[in-house]
Amino acid sequence: MSANKQSGKAAGQKSGKAISQNKGIVGQPVNRVDGRLKVTGAARYAVEFPFENVAYAALVGTTIANGRIKSFDLSAAQKVPGVLHIMTHENAPKLKPVVTNPAEGDAAGRRVPMQSPVVYYSGQYIALVVAETLEQARRAAELIRVTYEEQPPATDMDRERGKAYVPKQRVAGKPADSTRGNPDAGLSGAAVRVDEIYRTPTEHHNPMEPHATTAVWEGDKLTVYDATQYTYGVRHAMAVTFGVPEENVRIICKFTGGGFGCKGTVWAHVPLAAAAARQVKRPVRLATTRQQMFANMGHRAETEQRVALGATSDGKLTAIIHEGLTHTSVYDEYVEPFSKPTHMMYATENFRASQRLVPLNVGTPTYMRAPGETPGMFALESALDELAYKLNMDPIQLRLINHAETDPDGKLPWSTKLLKESYKIGAERFGWSRRKPQPNSMRDGRYLIGMGMATAVYPVNHFPASARARIRQDGTAIAESSTHDLGTGAYTVLTQVAAETLGLPMERVRVEIGDTNLPKAFVSGGSATTMSVGSAIQGAARGAITKLKEIARADKSSPLYGATAEQVVAKDGRLSLSDNPAKGETYAEILSRARTEEVEASFDMQFNDRQKTHSSHSFGAHFAEVRVDPDFGEVRVTRFGGVFDVGRVMNMKLAESQMRGGIVMGLGMALMEETVLDKNLGHVVNRDLAEYHVPVNADVPHMDVLLLENFDEYASPIGAKGAGEIGIVGVAAAIANAVYHATGVRVRDLPITPDKLMGKGALA
Amino acid sequence: MGWEKEYEEFLATLDAVDSALLTASGADDEEIMAFLSEDGEARRRFLKQVLITGGGVAAANLLLSYRLNIFAQTDRAANSSSTQTDSAGTIAVTLRVNGKSYPLQLEPQVTLLDALRERVGLTGSKKGCDRGQCGACTVLADGHRINSCLALAAAYEGAEITTVEGLAHGDELHPMQAAFIKHDGFQCGYCTPGQIMSAVGLLKEGCPPGLGVRECMSGNICRCGAYNGIVAAIEEVSGTKA
Amino acid sequence: MNSFTYKRATSQAEAIRDVAGNSNAKFLAGGTNLIDLMKMNVQQPGELIDINRLALKKIEEIPGGLRLGALASNSEVANDRRVRERFPVLSEALLAGASPQLRNMATVGGNLLQRTRCYYFMDTAFPCNKRVPGSGCPAIPGFNRIHAILGASDKCIATHPSDMCVALVALDAVIRVEGPRGVREMKLTDLHRLPGDTPQIDTNLQADELIVAVDLPSTAFAKRSGYLKVRDRAQYAFALVSVAVALEIKNGKIMAARLALGGVAHKPWRSQEAERVLTGAQANAQTFKAAALAAVTGAVPQKHNAFKIEMAKRAVVRILNQVAGGKQGGAA
């Protein structure tokens, strides 16, 4: 139980300082090992691998959102010089359904790669052109004329709410309707109540690299260079879709230009690129456009959430109800599980969560950074803030009163939870005490100033992962697993884990990822990669060292001959006796004498029995200061602070970057991000980066991020809890709460654009 | 077919003219050889056109001005050339990228970005939106940062283009590249070449009065949210604080 | 993007001749708008006449003012010391627009001819009267948060997106245009049109006319001028509402005034109603409030943009205060 001591300490006052307890390589704030490749432009993304004779593909999307294709006129397109092939549902090869991972069930998503004339949503791919050049392919695609039989599309969740249904699948592992105690009685009998509707709009991931694929067939063997978070999932999907054995399919992804969830499954363009390559018998390069990404690669579904809180007059929660709607597509089901965090966040006997789905003529939604938590915690943490004002209580105090000492959902103890410390340290660093409790009470010149806070939470997820470690005769080592680095720092962190376990400096360890010829790893999602793949690499590296020890201990010429495995340690590229470091020899010496090129060990990390005794989550607290223009309602975030408990921090520099990245995306969610569907025609109107606003440099202040020192042995063998997603959770609430504090205007429908503030509260 | 004889005669002198001009332009032997051999087709096509339309001294002068224009690296405004689309719908364009000449035969609609990525083989410049809305394609043209996705390659003939591949000197990184690594000014790396080129351009251009580094770097979107590191890197290299 | 032929013009006369001789030809300057629209198939010229090498880049003194060459980049103009000191509203407007990269590419002439950012115009999946006359305006029953509140018609509610043009209106700028029939001058306020029944026609320029320069007259009010832009993010966003003002003030009294709004109409919207209120009045809060009211005379909101009326009024008051008080404009 030592790991449950909750001895949270600030891990150094400034970023870049090593964590004291970590003497080794893990924990050091080293620079990214792939940094040089990225800053010199040498890192190759999916459509940047050179091929002789490569052909280019371009996709055509529908211009209607519901109906059927009546006919195509390809005559103009066919006349474009260089056109090699035009594919529509009329001549496309019959493809079996695309399924990324059967274990994920419906959530993996049904894809529609041009197998029928039915149109489910605007922008759905209905034709593909292959040509000699990119320009020719694009031009021919533009010239394809289509006639449709059009039906009115379902575009408005509000208008279609009569069609709401109970999700067929579970909502983040829970029933769609979950109840504890008697929430309605707890609410109606409460001294103080908040009962409000919160809305979050459709959002798009918009990684900077649009989805892209290069497909190469050699006979019935397929190699796909894909922009993905899940090489093995793509392999499985391609094997099933094309009816070839999995061993015949190889997926390569050395770098992913951002994902945030939308590259976690296979979308229709991947099988289409492969089908096109098979047809023209040439490598085919298919880069989707930014516009196509707004239709075909998923999105975060909009939500309409009722949060009802009941509390005693001293702030103890007597009921939490969190229920509402999200949308899905008309042809498939995805649930944005906004109620997920509410199950476990605060101590209350009376709780209900309930979610319904409304089918719309849109592409199927998908995971986007902290699915569920991100919209859900906006609603819950806004409601908590509203309750705090009603109680005339500091919002941190309210959260401390309702702090869950055990997981209220399953009553399990937390593995570790440094949430109280996060509030306390965060408040101190941010200067929370300078906040005047009343809304509309702080000024900087003409500007209205406000401070707000919110809680962050994200569960520990594990996925099975396999890895291989090879110690080579030249004294270097290679660690391998087909995971991905989408900016998360996987290359670097895994190198640190491998190097430390192998007793080698990082420069002598190379990590290979992103290739299904390497051992299997799961999707890089759920903030699980470091824990899952890191643990697998640690296991493989230990195995390789054990093998090396065996060679040395059995070799009469070795100074370690006859020693027990426990007596021998691996350090600085040498095996030596732990009580007599002088007695030992280098890995190179051991392997040379044994005439062995390398020792290799594999490890399969399984987490089957974990988490049954403990409930594991990362936690944190966000603090936002905003400056609101009193005339126009322009909100600028002027300061931001976040304190987090993500278990053991493998690399402080990269982990801080992860937190900052999440905060920036949360800032976008709070103030500007919204995908707007034309309600009459069903097209996304703002399907570009000029009108779908994401934060630019000038929107983002310096963010003071602190990660607390912790080691969670229950969460993962390497002590980490996961850092990829928690950074975004609660940010929108912290900012919305700060806006309320600045202005007295409570905005419950994101984003908080100027028009929602102007003329109200302090802006009247 | 009277032009054929003239064509043969001119061809012989052309190599000499080219060599002289290339030498004058500072091109090294390798580049001269590359131009004379690989660009043969483009040169012949051009010459053919000149001879059909004009001929004689006029043609020679035109030819000379065409050549001069290609190597007028610093002054794109040189009022000298009349590049035109040929009957096959393509155009001869010689791009100067990172100090090297790349003679290309392109459809006029090929953007500078696509020419770099798909024709020249320099994939460091990225395509994030293809519409000037993200900055991932930022390169320097005669030292100024531009969105190469909205630039027609043909229109940038004669400009000195610098891409991210042209920043480092061998193993020695440009200070901005080193600072981006040090301050972790990137995550996925896809916007990074554009960010770095924009940062290098900013150093030269300077920030207009009243604007800070953050404002002057707002043409480069980083969805990973590495803005704090980007600003720190630029401040370190420029020796300023925003 | 459609196929087109490309020609690099070597002289103004040649460029004009080429475009005059081909109704499907267009001039190519910075390309930041035209190439984008071509990529989206909104525009499909058959020939591009690249005018970038013409000698039209100079910013030069002329009797009674400053002449901006049509090919001077937005950056060059914004950073020109003479512009910053004598026509500050123009520098502020330019720096409030686009991104540094785009400002390096975009030209004075091109910016004048920038087309609307209406979502429905930019996307050929939609009908649009401006793009395909008679096909309808889906913005009116659709999502119209960014659309016009002034001067719109039942055919089109698009707005003009330029920041620069709003400033130029407030500076009484005159454009110099060269065509096959010679050179003519046109007040900037006469360049852009309201949509009426012909929203497909943005300007009163003929297709074969080339903008060669913009002249900024040295007026008493140009020096005391400023720009204010309200937007959804801190940079790199089009205006929800913007205002350019220029004032001549003597002993607290406004002798002359120019006021133009951006983001509210199919053209940069000069408000002579507001100017009348201001001219001759004391430079005080009461006057500014009255001018703000006058500036939105006749405003008609759409379903999602009623906020623009109030926003415009507030912006007018704010920038009048700033300019009258001698402070810099720019971002709100």
DSSP A24-52: SSTB--PPPTTHHHHHTT----TT-S--T
In B, which residues are within 8 Å of A135 by CB distance? 107, 109-110, 114
How close is the nearest chain A Cα to the Cα of C143, in Å?
6
Gap between the Cα atoms of C314 and A630, Å rounded: 10
Which pLDDT score, from 0 to 100, does residue A17 have?
32
pLDDT of residue A540: 98
Tell me what percent of the residues of chain C surpass a pLDDT of 70.
Answer: 98
Nearest-angstrom CA–CA distance, A536 and A468: 8
The reported pLDDT for the residue numbered A98 is 76
What pLDDT, on the 0 to 100 scale, is given for residue A609? 61
**pLDDT score for A245:** 97
Output the pTM of the full model: 0.92
Q: How far is C7 from chain B (nearest CA, A)?
A: 5
Q: Per-residue pLDDT for C173 more than 60?
A: yes
Helix (H) or strand (E) holding A408: none
Which subunits sit against B, judged by 3+ Cβ pairs under 8 A? Answer: A, C
Looking from the CA of C169 toward its CB, the CA atoms found within 13 Å total 27
Whether residue B130 lies within 8 A of chain C, CB to CB, comes out as: yes
pLDDT value of position C220: 95
Residue A451 pLDDT > 90: yes
Q: How many CA atoms lie within 13 A of A197 on its CB side?
A: 7
Give pLDDT tens digits for C64-98: 999 999 999 999 999 999 999 999 999 999 999 99
Chain B positions in Cβ-Cβ contact with residue A688 (cut-off 8 Å): 129, 131, 133
Q: What percent of chain B has pLDDT over 70?
A: 65
Between CA A509 and CA A496 the distance in angstroms is: 9
Residue A625 host element (H or E): strand A617-628
Instruction: Give the range among A154-168, A645-659, B26-40, C153-167 with minimum mean pLDDT.
Output: B26-40
Q: pLDDT class for A413, splitting at 50, 70, 90?
A: very high
Strand arrangement of the beta sheet that strand A617-628 belongs to: A442-444, A447-459, A617-628, A635-645, A703-707
Phi-psi sector, B211: left (phi>0), alpha (psi -120 to 50), beta: beta
Provide the 8-state DSSP code for A302: P
pLDDT tier for residue A24 given thresholds of 50, 70 and 90: confident
CA pair distance A127, A286, nearest whole angstrom: 13
Rounded percentage of chain A residues whose pLDDT exceeds 90: 92
Residue C14: phi, psi to the nearest 5?
-65, -45
If you average pLDDT over residues A521-543, what whole number do you get?
95
Average of per-residue pLDDT values in chain B: 78
- Per-residue tokens: A210: 């649009």
Distance, CA of C248 to CA of C256 (rounded, Å):
5
CA distance A558 to A655: 42
Residue C204's CB: how many other CB atoms inside 10 A? 12
Cis peptide before A153 (omega within 30 of 0): no
Amino acid at C176: R
Question: With pLDDT > 90 as the criterion, what percentage of chain B qualifies?
Answer: 61
ipTM: 0.97
Rounded Cα–Cα distance for residues B27 and B15 (Å) = 15
Decide if pLDDT at A1 tops 80: no
Instruction: Answer whether residue A166 shows pLDDT above 70.
Output: yes
Cβ atoms within 10 Å of C258's Cβ, excluding its own: 26
Residue A454's pLDDT band (cuts 50, 70, 90): very high
- Indicate the pLDDT class of residue C328, thresholds 50, 70 and 90: low
Q: For A234-246, what is the mean pLDDT?
A: 94
Whether residue C147 is predicted with pLDDT greater than 80 in this model: the reply is yes
Nearest chain A residue to C305 by CA distance is A755
Model pLDDT for residues B27-78, shown as the tens digit of each residue = 555 554 544 444 444 444 444 444 444 444 444 444 444 444 433 333 333 3
Q: How far is it, in rounded angstroms, from Cα A86 to Cα A80?
A: 11
Whether chain C has a CB inside 8 Å of the CB on B139: the answer is no
Contact status of B238 with chain C (Cβ, < 8 Å): no
pLDDT score for C332:
62
Whether C42 and C2 have beta carbons less than 8 Å apart is answered as no
Question: Could you identify the residue written with the tokens 């001018």?
Answer: C291
Distance from CA of B146 to the nearest CA of C (A): 4
Dihedral Cα A121, A122, A125, A127, nearest 10 deg: 120
Q: Which residue among A487, A690, A698 sits closest to B214, beta carbon to beta carbon?
A: A698
Q: Which residues of B touch C50 (CB under 8 A)?
A: 152, 154-155
**Is the CB of residue A551 less than 8 Å from the CB of residue A599?**
yes
Sheet holding A118-119, edge to edge: A118-119, A67-73, A145-150
pLDDT at position B16, please? Answer: 52
- Counting as contact any 3 or more CB pairs under 8 A, the partners of C are A, B
Instruction: Give the best residue of A155, A628, A631, A635 to mutate against chain C (max C CB count within 10 A).
Output: A631
Concatenated DSSP letters of chain B: -THHHHHHHHHHHHHHHHHHHHHHTT--HHHHHHHHHHTHHHHHHHHHHHHHHT-HHHHHHHHHHHHHHHH--S-TT-TT---B--TTS-EEEEEEETTEEEEEEE-TT-BHHHIIIIII----S--SSSSSSS-TTEEEETTEEEEGGGSBGGGGTTSEEE-GGGTSBTTB--HHHHHHHHTT--SSSSSHHHHHHHHHHHHHH-PPTT--HHHHTTTS--TT--HHHHHHHHHHHHT---
Residue A8: pLDDT over 80: no
The DSSP 8-state label assigned to residue A205 in this structure reads -
Compute the distance between CA of residue A552 and CA of residue C261 in angstroms, rounded to an integer. Answer: 82
Give mean pLDDT, residues B115-144: 98
The owner of tokens 């040295």 is: C218
CB-based contact C136:C96 (threshold 8 Å): no
CB contact B163 to C (< 8 Å): no
Find the helix packing angle between C285-295 and C307-324, rounded to 10°: 140
Average pLDDT, chain A: 94
Under 8 Å CB pairs connecting chains B and C tally to 127
CA dist list (Å): B177 to A283, A601, B110, B187: 33, 37, 29, 14
Beta-carbon separation of A759 and C1 below 8 A: no
Residues C52 and C28 sit within 8 Å (Cβ to Cβ):
yes
Q: For B204-224, what is each residue's pLDDT tens digit?
A: 999 999 899 999 999 999 999
A41 to chain B, any CB pair closer than 8 A? The answer is: yes
Residue in chain C closest to B108 (alpha carbons) equals: C6
Find, among C235, C145, C153, the residue nearest to C195 by Cα: C153
CA distance C19 to C51: 11
Contact assignment for B188 to A694 by CB distance below 8 Å = no
CA distance C31 to B111: 11
Chains that contact A by 3+ CB pairs under 8 Å? B, C
Tokens in use for B190? 């896809």
Q: Tell me if C53 and B79 make a contact (CB, 8 A cut-off).
A: yes
CA distance between the termini of chain C: 38
- Out of A359-373, A510-524, A671-685, B39-53, least confident range: B39-53
Residue A207 pLDDT > 80, yes or no? yes
> Distance, in angstroms, between A187 CA and closest chain C CA?
36
* Residues 233-262, chain C, touching A (beta carbon < 8 A): 233-238, 240
Q: How far apart are CA A533 and CA A431, in angstroms?
A: 38
Distances (CA, A) of A26 to A382, A484, A604, A720: 37, 19, 21, 11
Binding-face residues of C in 93-152 toward B, CB within 8 A: 95, 98-102, 104-105
Local structure of A462: helix, strand or coil:
coil
For residue A11, pLDDT over 70 is answered with no
C-alpha–C-alpha distance, residues B62 and A540, integer Å: 69
Question: B16 or A755, which is more confident?
Answer: A755
Distance CA B164, CA C38 (A): 27
State pLDDT tens for residues A96-140.
Answer: 877 765 554 434 457 778 999 999 999 999 999 999 999 999 999
Give the model confidence (pLDDT) of C221-243 as tens digits: 999 999 999 999 999 999 999 99
The 3-state DSSP class for residue A760 equals coil
For A278-331, the pLDDT digits (tens) are 999 999 999 999 999 999 999 999 999 999 999 999 999 999 999 999 999 999
d(CA B212, CA B238): 12
| pLDDT higher than threshold 50 for residue C4 | yes
CA angle centred on A631, ends A626 and A633, rounded to 5°: 40
| The dihedral formed by the CA atoms of A76, A81, A85 and A87, expressed in degrees to the nearest 10 | -30
Residue B61 has a pLDDT of 42
Out of A254-263, C117-126, C320-329, which region has the weakest mean confidence (pLDDT)? C320-329
- Tell me what pLDDT residue C177 has: 98
Which sequence positions of A are flagged as catalytic? 725
SS3 A384: helix
pLDDT tens-place string over residues A256-287: 999 999 999 999 999 999 999 999 999 999 99
